[in-house]
Amino acid sequence: MAQGEPGDDLQALIAAIVQQVLEDPSFSQVTTPAPHASEPPIRPRALEQMITEIAQELWSQAPLPPGRPLPGLDRLADRAALPKLAKATPSRIGIGRAGLRYPTKTYLALRADHGTAKEAVASTPSPGFVQQLGALELHTQADDLETFLLQPNQGRTLDAASVGRLRTEGSRGVDVQIILADGLSAWAAERNPGLLAALQRELTRVGFSHGRPIYVNRARIAVADQIGVELGAKATVIGLGERPGLGTGDSLSLYLAYNPKIGQDNAEKNCISNVRPQGLSVDEAARQAAEILKKAREIGQGGLAVAAPQRTW
């Protein structure tokens, strides 16, 4: 491509992308879910990732003329602060613009990140993951992904078979029942390794028993209430995938409930969010969870009544 300002030869850019996509064998692997499939397959990211890489390569061959600032970034009060800000956050800072729109390479990256978020919602645990945790595996009444997404209440209650397993194989009367779940991203629990061990360690440190951990498929937060009541646990902590943002399918939240009961109001619970490699570490999240529950035990209630513990960085 001839040297010049990005966007000067848009047709050539599109042609280059389409040509390479059509020639790549992975293109044929892209699938579309059947109209009534109960479990839509996860679409591979190969297509969107390839388009992004091609666009980035083309842009590197066609840089802006020397000394010409990115559109919209030529009136900065503090130019030195921009790169520092961009490095401090995964947010898109200082990307410039093309007229009233994002630059094409930014738009393509957004599409790729959107694909990551969609895949996270449809993800399931890797084979053997639950067994490696030593957890009791349960299921909610949401039989498939479509039901789980469209009927949230189905994800708040265990199915009959799981209730039976819980009653016969669960740990009764523990101080804190630890629960992991998929939520809106099964990736989250797997991509934050060490969370279970950290929770067990920190809860033991503050004097709580915790028994056998539980993993729940197709789970919403409130399923922890049913589990806590069934087992007679004094408190529950459930860690599950957050609703994915752009490119953040690995983010997990911990929800803590002291004296759990069916239909417990969210004001009686505490939440620790953004547990992920680029956010709050599993060790710090576990420490905060233990301190919150310790305080809840001291005052006899959780939620808004518990002041958040001081964070250490």
| Domain parsing of the chain, residue ranges | 10-122, 129-305
pLDDT in tens, 82-121: 778 877 777 787 787 787 888 888 888 888 888 888 889 9
Q: Which region among 75-79, 199-203, 242-246 has the lowest average model confidence (pLDDT)?
A: 75-79
What is the C-alpha separation between 191 and 187, in angstroms, rounded?
6
Highest mean pLDDT among 69-83, 108-122, 165-179: 165-179
pLDDT at 24: 65
Per-residue pLDDT band at 237 (split at 50, 70, 90): very high
Mean pLDDT, all residues of the chain: 82
**Could you give the angle at the alpha carbon of 310 between the alpha carbons of 308 and 313, nearest 5°?**
130
Residues in the chain: 313
pTM (predicted TM-score)? 0.73
Q: Which region among 6-20, 159-173, 234-248 has the lowest average model confidence (pLDDT)?
A: 6-20
pLDDT in tens, 3-31: 444 444 556 666 676 666 666 665 554 44
What number is the average pLDDT over the span 144-157?
96
pLDDT at 84: 80
Tell the CATH topology of 129-305: Rossmann fold (3.40.50)
- If one compares 173 and 109, the residue with the highest pLDDT of the two is 173
Measured on CA atoms in the order 156, 159, 163, 169, is the torsion positive or negative?
negative
What is the C-alpha separation between 311 and 313, in angstroms, rounded?
7
The encoded tokens of residue 220 equal 């919403």
